[in-house]
Structure formats: structure tokens, C-alpha cells
Structure 1
Amino acid sequence: MNDKPKIEEEIDFKAVAKTPTRWFGLVYLYFFVLIFIGGLYYVNSLEVLNRNATVVALIDSTNLFKDALFTKGNVSPGMDLNLIMNPSADMVSKGESLFKANCASCHGENGMGDGPAGVALNPKPRNFHSKDGWVNGNKFSQMFRTLVTGIQKSGMPAYEYLPAQDRVNLIFYIRNFTKDFPVVDKNEVDQLDKEFSLSKGSINPSQIPVKVAKERLVAETNSTLNKAYKIVDIIESSADANAKIFVSVTKDRLKAATYLASSSVWTNSLNDFIKTVVSNSSTNGFNNRLLSLSKDEWNNLFVYLRGIVTKSV
């Protein structure tokens, strides 16, 4: 008996229809086609998917704010303008010391723009030996203004805190690197003097960051308000006749107490007290009954309130 399976030379489709298990191998092809079609759809939809998934963040230009830095104020003495037209060797020598202390870390010891701190900067620090590419120009007046204002986009800080004479010395040392710098003329010097009061000198006020100023203002306000609450508590719990006078001449006790706690000018004298309180009675919490007080009542109220405010500080 021959048990060997009969090898079919051609597919008998009628037999395939009668035995469905023969279709099982086609399942792999079916899934492959589905995955292929799904992949094509995904690739073609990437742009749409990303556009729908990514929320475009619009930058509010009103929020682009760079806070001020801590700067200590100083008095910049006046200088002899003739020295700008005729710089001395001593000025250049002093300028060299200033350059090494303030500029060499970025601009390099020889002003080539190759200082160690300038490696990561973009754009690179100024090469003072090159006459091209100056942001504000290489005239003496332009260099002076640059030292005053700095160059924000390149990260160069301002040196307005340096006395005018030091800034001039620094510029003349830098101009010593090459002979390509323009000649300084009198009109240029006169314009600088008019703009920056070089010959008269100037007072440069201190500055603090706005954030710090706000924090201090809030702290001071809170401190004043706490004092005002203490003053009101003392007055309202007192049986003193002057406490009753205060209550009668105020329309808002807390506002009036806050006004008194926020300034010490009125404590100098009775006249200062009367002038301060009456002139601002429409906004400081007091009322018009102040005008009907006798001289003795004014004096007693002044002494009474000054004593309370002093204790509450």
C-alpha cells in the first residue's frame, strides 16, 4: 500500500475551497498588507498630527523685560577737557590698569578679542586691532558712549559707574593698540561735555532691580500697616479723652493711623502736625471736624498721638 502523499503539480482550487485550513498561510500576507497601509497613512499624516498636537506659543512682547542690576552710586568729579585733546602717558598707563582689571578677561591682554571669558560669547568680543565691524563706531565719542551704555545684544556691560576720567584713560589705552582710530576734534569733545557734563562732574545714583524694589515696598507697606493696627487697637481700648477726640475727627481710623505711621514729619512740631493733617484731610482718613478743635485740643491730640506712634514703632 502506497501511503506517500500525492504531490500536486498544480494548485487544485476546488480542493482549497473544500479545505479552508489551506488559507491560513494567507493570514500573514493579510496582516502585512494592513500594517503597510497603516504605515503609509501615518507617514502621510505626520504634518497634520504635529500641527494639531503642538500649541503655538506666542511670545507676549510686553513681558520681555530685563531687570536692572545692583549699581552703587558715586560722585564723578569733573575733568580737564584739554586732557582729551592731549592725553598724557600717565593717562594711558592708568588706562592699562583699568583695561586689565575690567576688559582683558573678554578682549584679551592685547585687545585681540581672545580673552578666556569671551570664548563662549557670540558674537565674539571686539578685536581692537581691527577697524571694521564696530557696533557703535570707533570715534572717541562713540567709544565713550559705549562705555556708558554697554552693548546689550553682545553681552558687554556698561561702565557708567567709572569716573569720567577713568573712562577717558581706558579709551586712550585702547586707542594705543593701533593707529587706525579717528583723530579727536574739539567739536566732538564739546558735544560730549554737553551730553555728560565731563567738566562739571556728575552724580550717579544707586540703582536696584525692580523686583527687589517691589519686595522692599511691600515689606515697608506691611510694616506700616502693622503699626497702624497697633495704633488703632491702643486708641479703641483707651478711655483717654484724647482717644475720644481722635475718634471724633476721623472718618476712617485705620487710614488715619496708617497715614500717621507712614511719616515722621508731623512729629517735629505742633505746627507740622496741624499742617500735615489738615492739608490732606480729604484723603488721609481725617474729617472736617479738625477745623473746630481748640488750640489746647490740638496740642493734647498731638502729644497723645506722637506718644502712641513712637511706642508702636
Structure 2
Amino acid sequence: MIERYLSPSELRRLLSALLVVALFLCILTLFAFLIVPGTRNANAPAAEVPVAAPQGQSGWLDPTAYLAEKGRTVPPIDPRTVMSPNPELMARGKAIYVQTCATCHGAEGQGDGPGAKGLNPAPRRFTQKEGWKNGPGIPEIFQTLEKGVPGSSMVSYNYLSKRDRMALVHAVQSLGRFARAQEDPKALEGLARLFATAGETIPNRVPVAKALTLIAKESQPVARLDLRDPAVRAAVLDPERAAQTLALLPGWRQSVERLASGLSQGLPGNGFSPMVATYSREEWGVLHRALVTP
């Protein structure tokens, strides 16, 4: 029918035009389904590279359950690599925070982690400007990690290398939701000098659990703790490890002070809750009586 209105040459031109349009539509479809998504993915921000936890699979509130490690000497650190946060340092700091800090301080630094209940004083809220024991600056947070906070459940984190502690410092600072005062130049200079001039000698390390297991094999069997008393249940995290700790602590049955001083060291790796570090003299007496006369 169409031949009645078009000459053969005009028909060929029409078919050629239709073919070109069809080819163009095919190319456009291919571009939309293949090229555009690839371009979008290429421009997307790089996914954060997961960082392995630095202390192995630690137990609840137990930073001492690190992997066995052979001792080594770490040379001084270039301060420029740790004094300011960089993506690699922040990623490691966040991994350490999740493993060792979030249980008490919370994933967002609000002091609302599952291990915060019952702790007195309560864990620090990193999001708030008020209440920092040493201060929210880099040198102050590093000091807190170095020495802990006496009279609280915040123990020393000096088992971490200096680089890892600085990574954790930056991770903690990143949780703050307040305008931070300018850092003290002299304190920063002193911290930088510490990194640049002093290396680290890291001794052979064995997880507390493994060390206690080896000691237990060389000693007499240890009786299990009686957890029926509420005072004992509140103070003990790991009954087996706590029993081994008491078995190796001389004189604790005869002295409340000896029990308190002995258990306050090595928390929580000795099987007792960090909460016992905040006990009063009367609370230690209650725990002592419960342990001596189950």
C-alpha cells in the first residue's frame, strides 16, 4: 500500500532513517543500564575499610584477653603521623573503641553502654563538655588512657601501644558534640617529644585467662565460687577465673584490706567486675564475709 505514495528511493530513505533511530534508541538504552550505574558507583565515596580488632576476641569488659604476642621493640614514632587524625588512624581508633570502650561508654559516647549499669561514678559521656576528669584535649585523654582514673572503673590502657592509644584518643574526641577549646601548645609539644624520642619495649604477653589456666594446671584444683550470695554475684564476672584469682591471693581470708588491694589490681581480667574498684570499706566487708563464709 505504501508503494502507492512513495517511490522506491523515498522508501529506502525512510527505512534508513527508521533504522538509524532504532540504533540510537538501542545505544541510549545500553548507556542507561550499563554506563550510568558504573559512573555513579565510581563517584560514590569509598567504603570504609574494616579494621581488625587489635586485642583478639576479648570477653565482656575484658581488654586483657588479647592474643598471645611475642615481645618486640617499637622505634620512636614520627609525631606527624599520630598528632592529627587521618583516615587510617581514625579507622583503627574506632575499631579499638568498639572493642574496649563501647561496652561502658556506649557506641555514640553517651555513657549508656550495657556495662554502665551499676558503675559509680558512671562512665564519662564523651558527647558533653562538662565532667571530664583530666580534660577533653589530646594530651589529657592520652594521660587518662595511660594512667586510668583512680576511684573509678576506668583502668589504665597502657597495654595498648602509643600509636593505638593515640588512635583511640582521636576516636574519643570525634564523639564530642561541643566546641573544644584550643589545645595547649606546650602540652602538645611535650606529647610529640615523647613520641619522637622514646620507643617502646613490648614484653611477651599471654592472655590472663591462658596464664591462669597454666598456673591452675600446676597447682591444686580450685573450688568453685558459691554464687548464691547477691554480694558475690554482683562482684564476679567470671566465676572460674575469680576462683583462680582468690586461690593465688595470699592472706585475703584474714584481711579485708588484702582482699580489696588484691582484687583491685588486674580488673577485669582477674574475673571480678570493674565495679569493685569503687567499693566502700563497708561494701568490701560485705563481700569479704560472703566469700569467707559461703
TM-score by length of 2: 0.42
